[in-house]
Chains A and B, each alone.
Chain A
Amino acid sequence: MSLAALADKTAAIFRRDLLTAFRYRSAFLLTAAGALTELAAFYYLSRAIGPGFRPEGLDYFSFLLIGTGFYTFLIMGIHSFLQTVQDAQHNGTFEVLMTTSTRPSVLVLLSALSAFSRNAAQMVLYLGVGLLVFNGALPRPGAGCVPVFLLSVLIAMAIGLMAAALQVAMQKGSAILWALGAGAWLFTGTLFPIATLPQPLRFAAELIPITHALHAMRMALLEGAATTTLSHEIGILAIFAFLLLPLGLATFSYSLTQARREGTLSCY
């Protein structure tokens, strides 16, 4: 596929999603209101706990702001793959989309890219409101956040492809993702440092890529860590991305082929 054709398809998918979002304005307003309420709750929680509690040496509200903002971005990114498949199954477009001249994996990746862009804009808005309205602080944002962000997105895409594969195969992907998301909320150090967890749970937390992504992003944004300082975390994220991406693509492709054989492509 030529670059021009890829750009054309990307533009078509972004346009479709923007038009649909614009015509569902109430959903956007509800999401914004929900995020604002969440930030207010975290702000008052950190005030109630007091300035003495400094997880990983950081101000607790800033710890929460980066943790929940980036965690939500990654989880929503993963969910967007599943959502893409689920929405297409619900509105009946899935079978048709899977038989266009565009490869199914390219189509799902581009749809997710569109969702990631929307989520990134929401994250920037979330962090902006946290900083401006609730006096959060990013004292020394460092360049290390760039590779951490990119690798985290690759990992989220890989997990997202597996979630989409589950949706195609079992039509119950969202239930499984909800359970995993709830577990990740506990294990990844989003609300509190994983050092608080007992040793076996801490070991489990280390096996989840989001734990490393959140830790590295906090170090980059709140402590000004450069890429070299974060080389250990970046290395771990790179290994996760290298292993999970081919696995995600293969899983999605396999589940699509199976669904075509079994005639369950449009089932939901």
Chain B
Amino acid sequence: MALIGANGSGKTTLLKLISTMLLPDQGQVIVNGSDTLRGPQRVRSSVGFAVAGERSFFPRLTARENLDFFAALDDVSTGQRKARIEFMLARTGLCDAADTLVMKFSAGMYQRLAIARALMKQPAVLLLDEPTRSLDPGVKADVWELVRELSAGGTTAVIATHSFQETAAVADSVAVLRRGELLDYREIKGLNAEDVGSLYFRGEWHAPMNDSEVVLEGCQ
């Protein structure tokens, strides 16, 4: 599912609510059957969050060391860890930079490492905050391919994005947010970027939602 909306519409806030970085003042966030207020640890075990921004790694550790550290905290078994790190480094195109200190990374490399980290624990729900913002077109296509593969394998992916192209490429549904409210939610499978863009700019995403509950496979 893609989340689209202007700056400040609440896309990242929604992702943070799902990941338990934020707790709701009212209402409930239920992820994979667990309430973020009553069972936050169960939620954390099933959610992987690739946060936007460059500052979420230990700068004096290498990419491989960072992944190894977070994998240990996410209960990835020691037997599987090494192979999974190598696989994720390969999938995100970071093999050549695996032993480089993270403080020397570019914005795009940080972005890819954040995706690799989020996928290390093979989460049931994957949250991606503007995952391709700083990536070049080739890597962007690889990330979209990866997301499509994960979705086909049963992972629920929620992507906050400003890109209609990205929305059309990876999402089968879209939620439109405005000033913290859900403006619309609909299936968009089969639409291309131009269709999504024209719907957005023509203001056709305005059907008021009486029932604010949106149910996905992994979260509601």
Contact = CB atoms under 8 A, between A and B. Distances in A.
Which 5 A-B pairs have CB atoms at the shortest separation, nearest pair first? Answer: A92-B55, A12-B72, A100-B73, A260-B23, A23-B60
A3 to B, nearest CB: 14
Interface in A1-42: 5, 8-9, 11-13, 15-16, 19-20, 23-24
A11 B72 contact: yes
A24 B16 CA distance: 33
A98 interface: yes
A93 interface: yes
How many residues of A sit at the interface, in one of the four size bands?
20 to 34
Interface string A77-104: 0000000000000011101111111110
Contacts of A257: 23
Contacts of B146: none
B161 interface: no
Contacts of A13: 69
A265 interface: yes
Contacts, number: 86
Interface of A: 5, 8-9, 11-13, 15-16, 19-20, 23-24, 91-93, 95-103, 107, 257, 260-261, 263, 265
B74 A19 contact: no
B51 A8 contact: no
Contacts of B73: 9, 12, 97, 100-102, 107
B53 interface: yes
B105 interface: no
Given A16-B58, A92-B56, A99 B41 contact: no
11 contacts: A5-B75, A9-B73, A16-B58, A19-B60, A23-B60, A91-B55, A96-B70, A98-B21, A99-B19, A100-B70, A101-B121
A208 to B, nearest CB: 35
A101 B45 contact: yes
Contact of A261 (B25, B45, B58): B25
Interface string B1-15: 000000000000100
Nearest to B81: A8
Contacts of A107: 73
